[in-house]
A and B are shown apart, each in its own frame.
Chain A
Amino acid sequence: MTTTAPETARKPATMAQALTRALHDAMAADPSVHVMGEDVGTLGGVFRVTDGLAREFGEDRCSDTPLAEAGILGTAVGMAMYGLRPVVEMQFDAFAYPAFEQLISHVARMRNRTRGAVPMPLTMRVPYGGGIGGVEHHSDSSEAYYLATPGIQVVTPATVADAYGLLRAAIASDDPVVFLEPKRLYWSKDDWSPDAPTQVAPIGRAEIRRPGANATLITYGPSLPVCMEAAEAARAEGWDLEVVDLRSLMPFDDDTVCASVRRTGRAVIVHESNGFGGPGGEIAARITERCFHHLEAPVLRVAGFDIPYPPPMLERHHLPGVDRILDTVARLQWESDWTEGCGA
């Protein structure tokens, strides 16, 4: 027998609320889960993701720390060494940089360094990405830095359900997770509701958000809604686009991505992060290495420009948008006679 909540109670929640619920449920389920960071206690975080946790679980379980990111992550390392599961909040993407040394030199290496004797079951939550009109240092896409470091998992939800499910999985993971929260989706809603069955989403598995036959858009986090919109608009051009939401950048789901590209024969990677040195280059290389003979066209990227993140009044020119995605899809060598131009 299944009982469903009455329709009236099923109020959709925002991504921020789903994250709060995930933290809440993780803390209720496991007394070793500790939330810590700047303003996470009384205030509930600048994005209110930790709202109510200090009240319910006490300030020892959800604590306002001194204002020092290396100190926050560094003390979290020691807490994890003593069997706790710290969930650290970095206030903004660019303000996580002071914690890089602890992340790279210790968090990522501790398990390996000690042959598994000292695992690092900690989660570092980082609000990231642009599109919220933030002034400098409030809109960075810092995922490439994290991906360049072996030993940490890098996860980013694009849907409200995944925000809940992936954060639960991140906290439960015995390895460190950098959990990237797309700032501009904090207030987004879909059909997830706190009353709905709450599922933990597995880390390391991509999801096909929209099946399609002609080309695959590969994306994650804040760019998923843009890609979904682009795929819808592409129908008018006669293109049936598949959209893959990576969800987890490390571990990377080669199987789902390659199966899709082999089916469609064309791939475009879409992300806000700078193109040069960004995740798209790695993904394109992986696809080329594994699916070369299935490809009808070079793998293309729609990425942020290779510039420091622009001021808010100019950011729309920087961010991948529907038109830029469609223009790129148009360059996927749809003409059957394209080889002639290459002298082949």
Chain B
Amino acid sequence: MTVLEQPGSSRNTSDLPGPPPAWRPRVDPGPLLPDAEPYRLLGTDAAGRLDPGLLTRLYAQLVRGRRYNAQATALTRQGRLAVYPSSTGQEACQVAAALALEDRDWLFPSYRDTLAAVARGLDPVQALTLLRGDWHTGYDPQEHRIAPLCTPLATQLPHAVGLAHAARLKGDDVVALAVVGDGGTSEGDFHEALNFAAVWQTPVVFLVQNNGFAISVPLAKQTAAPSLAHKAVGYGMPGRLVDGNDAPALHEVLTEAVRRARGGGGPTLVEAVTYRIEAHTNADDATRYRTDSEVETWREHDPIALLEHELRDRDLLTEEFVRTTQEGAEELAAGLRDRMNADPELDPMDLFTHVFAEQTSQLREQAAQLRAELAAEAAGHPEHTEHGALAGEPAAAGRSAQETRP
């Protein structure tokens, strides 16, 4: 017996006036519902119809992505990156997201999605600027149509909705794809972004990478929903549940969602079921909250191995292809390693340059203070005097705050 069925709660309603016009759901929720099982292509009959060119392209990107993750993780051990949230095991999500977009579309990544940006063509050194710590964003978002990597969870989602909305208002057929983690779906901004997108019928695709954990907290403590994809129905948009380690399946679903969005069909929520093979970041100890055997189970469902299987079945995994793919990945890693091993050129005066379009008098004073400190430091340490950063700065504009007695 539920609370609502308690005895004494029933009333005689026969002499009440008739109800107002019958209420109906505004849309049929049926077509919005996700499948009961994550959508898969690899290992099914449907895999046979997949274009070999797409499969080899996905494969080459996955291998590069795996190598990129390994290299970035190594750079944290060498002290070259402040922190690295690895996407090892989640490469299919990263690559499929990047490949589903046209050049004019926008990607809204979280901190874990540098690989998606790299797969889209961004220079990995620029992608890693935030995590190296020399600036917050290392690339021009407008040039690459990649929003800054976002750290406050889910807060990039309303940006994606607003950008796609603005594009539509301007008559541009631009789609925004925003990536968020399973933990991020509990944030208010996730809810608000999906609601705005559905109400405005914005051309945006939300990709949830459900990798099982938000740092240490498993999905069961995050949500009571049947699946994260089911959340879509509450906003009036379709939810798609996909195997996030099946690169062709996820690519197909995302491409379809992007196509639908571009054609005016509105937003889609895609949940990609995957797993975070590494710890949350290099600073995390995953043994405190999960077992090695669980990780092993997921290693067996590896996105690269799954695709390799299909390629081998079709005789696409030629020696030549494997070799060039691996060489390409090694080249990427070597370039990244070499360039990250050089110290970045930093200009401390940049701290004041971009706070406002026009510097306030307060910031001019503070810049003058730092400039003087740097000059004194340079004078005390002759080896620093040729540091070119200070040359060309406008002369100190600050006045001395200390005054003489009238």
Contact flags A52-87 to B (C-beta < 8 A → 1, else 0) = 000000001000011010110111111111111010
Q: A83-B166, A105-B155 are in contact. Are A292 and B148 (CB under 8 A)?
A: no
Partner pick for A114 among B137, B158, B167, B350, CB 8 A cutoff: B137
Partner pick for B136 among A73, A98, A113, A151, CB 8 A cutoff: A113
Q: A78-B165, A84-B169 are in contact. Are A71 and B189 (CB under 8 A)?
A: yes
The answer to whether B158 touches A74, judged by C-beta atoms less than 8 angstroms apart, is yes
The answer to whether B189 touches A294, judged by C-beta atoms less than 8 angstroms apart, is no
Residues of chain B from 351 to 381 with CB closer than 8 A to chain A in the complex = 353-357, 360-362
Q: Does B403 contact A (CB under 8 A)?
A: yes
Q: Does A324 contact B (CB under 8 A)?
A: no
A interface residues (Cβ-Cβ under 8 A, vs B): 34, 60, 65-66, 68, 70-71, 73-84, 86, 98, 101-102, 105-106, 109-119, 150-151, 153, 173-175, 204, 250-252, 254-255, 289-294
The answer to whether B159 touches A106, judged by C-beta atoms less than 8 angstroms apart, is yes
Partner pick for B162 among A79, A101, A114, A294, CB 8 A cutoff: A79
The answer to whether A118 touches B141, judged by C-beta atoms less than 8 angstroms apart, is yes
CB distance from A73 to the nearest CB of B (A): 8
12 example contacts (A-B, Cβ-Cβ < 8 A) are as follows A74-B193, A75-B159, A75-B161, A78-B164, A79-B163, A81-B141, A83-B170, A112-B355, A113-B135, A115-B135, A116-B354, A290-B403
The answer to whether A75 touches B354, judged by C-beta atoms less than 8 angstroms apart, is no
Q: List the A residue with the shortest CB-CB distance to B148.
A: A113
CB distance from B14 to the nearest CB of A (A): 38
The interface residues of chain A lying within 8 Å CB-to-CB of B350 are: 115
Partner pick for B158 among A77, A175, A250, CB 8 A cutoff: A77
The answer to whether A111 touches B356, judged by C-beta atoms less than 8 angstroms apart, is yes
Q: A291-B403, A293-B403 are in contact. Are A251 and B196 (CB under 8 A)?
A: no
The answer to whether B355 touches A150, judged by C-beta atoms less than 8 angstroms apart, is yes
Q: Does B192 contact A (CB under 8 A)?
A: yes
B interface residues (Cβ-Cβ under 8 A, vs A): 135-137, 140-143, 147-148, 152, 155, 157-167, 169-170, 174, 176, 188-189, 192-193, 195-196, 199, 350, 353-357, 360-362, 401, 403-406
The answer to whether B136 touches A68, judged by C-beta atoms less than 8 angstroms apart, is no
**How many A-B contacts at CB < 8 Å in the complex?**
154
How far apart are the CA atoms of A317 and B119 in the complex, in Å? 63
The answer to whether A75 touches B162, judged by C-beta atoms less than 8 angstroms apart, is yes
How far apart are the CA atoms of A115 and B136 in the complex, in Å? 9
The interface residues of chain A lying within 8 Å CB-to-CB of B164 are: 78
Q: List the B residue with the shortest CB-CB distance to A150.
A: B355
How far apart are the CA atoms of A68 and B197 in the complex, in Å? 13
Q: List the A residue with the shortest CB-CB distance to B405.
A: A293
Partner pick for A74 among B155, B353, B356, B404, CB 8 A cutoff: B155
The answer to whether A75 touches B360, judged by C-beta atoms less than 8 angstroms apart, is no
The interface residues of chain B lying within 8 Å CB-to-CB of A150 are: 355
CB distance from A90 to the nearest CB of B (A): 15
In this complex, the member of A76, A81, A102 whose beta carbon has the largest number of chain B beta carbons within 10 angstroms is A81
Q: A70-B188, A74-B192 are in contact. Are A117 and B140 (CB under 8 A)?
A: yes
Partner pick for A112 among B136, B163, B401, CB 8 A cutoff: B136
The interface residues of chain B lying within 8 Å CB-to-CB of A102 are: 155, 158, 189
Q: List the A residue with the shortest CB-CB distance to B142.
A: A117
How far apart are the CA atoms of A114 and B126 in the complex, in Å? 12
Partner pick for B406 among A70, A114, A115, A293, CB 8 A cutoff: A293
